[in-house]
Each structure stands twice: as C-alpha cells, then as structure tokens.
Amino acid sequence: MLDKFRVIFDAVFTPIARALLRLGVSPDAVTVVGTLGVSSMALYFFPQGILGWGTLAITAFVFSDMIDGIMARLSGRTSPFGAFLDSTLDRIGDAAIFAGLILYFAGPHVVGTDEPGLYQALATYCLVSGGITSYARARAESLGFTASVGIAERADRLVLILFAAGLSDFLELPVLLFGALWILAAASTVTVLQRIWVVRQQAG
C-alpha cells in the first residue's frame, strides 16, 4: 500500500540524501544508525509507557530506511551486501518495537485493560508472525518462486503499529493500540497463508 507514496517520499528525502552523500556519509552507515536509533528508542520509551513521544522518536529514525535506499541509488552504490544489510537490520528494528511493547504490557505502566497478559501474548504473536511473514517470502525467493503477496507488507505493519501506539497515548485511547494488535495478528496470519498458497500454486 505504501508503495503508492514512494514518489512523494523520494521527493521529500532526496535533498537530505544528497546532502549526506556530499558529507561523505555512506548508505550503510545510515542503515546502521537508523536501526540503532529505532531499537534504542523503542526499548527505552515503550517499557516506560511513553508511547506517544516514543513513537515520534522512533519514526524519526524509521525515515532512514528510505534515505539509505535513495542514497544508494544516487551514488550508484547499490550492492547485494547493502540489500542484505538493510533487510537484516530492518528485522532487528521491527523486533525491538514489538519487544518494547511486550515489556510495556509486562510492566506497571500499562493502562486501559485488566488483561495485560493477553496483549503481551498478542504483541509476542505479532513479533513472531511478522518474522515468519518475511521468512516465507525470502525462502520462496531462494527456491526460485515469488511470494510478494499479502495484505500486510512490512511497511504497512510498521505504520499501523506506530500510528496506533502514538495516538493511543496522545489521545488517551488505549483501545487504538489494542485494536491494532488484533488487526496485525490477523493480517500477518492471512499473509503467511497467502504466501504459502501462492508458492504451492507455483510448485505445481
């Protein structure tokens, strides 16, 4: 879904990418810094129940995932290793976000529910199923199939959980976060099944 906005994102972040290249910053360095920023902000703010400001801090670093790709294209430094590094570190950042939420539901700052254990388990399921979703596609492609289908691409999942976490805090509506977790759990499950099905069809 977010691919439809790629042109807009490129227009916004290309000047930043050019400036970083002029300063001698490499795309891989931006990838690493972005992942460290996302992970540290998620694991610092979320367990303390600071979901709103934590989301804003995380989002600032999430944009690096767009900037490093633009930098690589502009500089001609696209490489298999760069793609591997980017994908691998993306999963680390995603895991940190959900780990922060798991710690939030396990701690004393959770609000809006008498069943924090339920949502701790749900956040854990979203973490695991998100990883399986990515693995299913990677494994399919390594076997010569394509599996780029599904209703819950990584970017969509990331936007939904961050948007819901931030608004749930700022608007004092924790139900937004709870609902987003249920939606993500269902969408990730459907996406995994879709990818299994499409590979089965290609395998004959």
Report, as residue numbers or ranges, the catalytic residues: 90
The structure tokens listed for 113 are: 């529910």
Residues 6+ apart with CB under 8 A from 156: 1, 2, 187
Q: Do 106 and 99 form a contact (C-beta atoms < 8 A)?
A: no
Q: How far is CA 111 from the centre of its chain?
A: 24
Measure Cα distances from 126 to 26, 27, 131, 133 in Å: 32, 29, 9, 10
Asked if 46 and 106 count as a contact pair (C-beta separation under 8 A), the reply is: no
Q: How far from chain centre, in Å, is Cα 194?
A: 20
Q: Could you report how far apart the first and last alpha carbons of the chain are, in Å?
A: 29
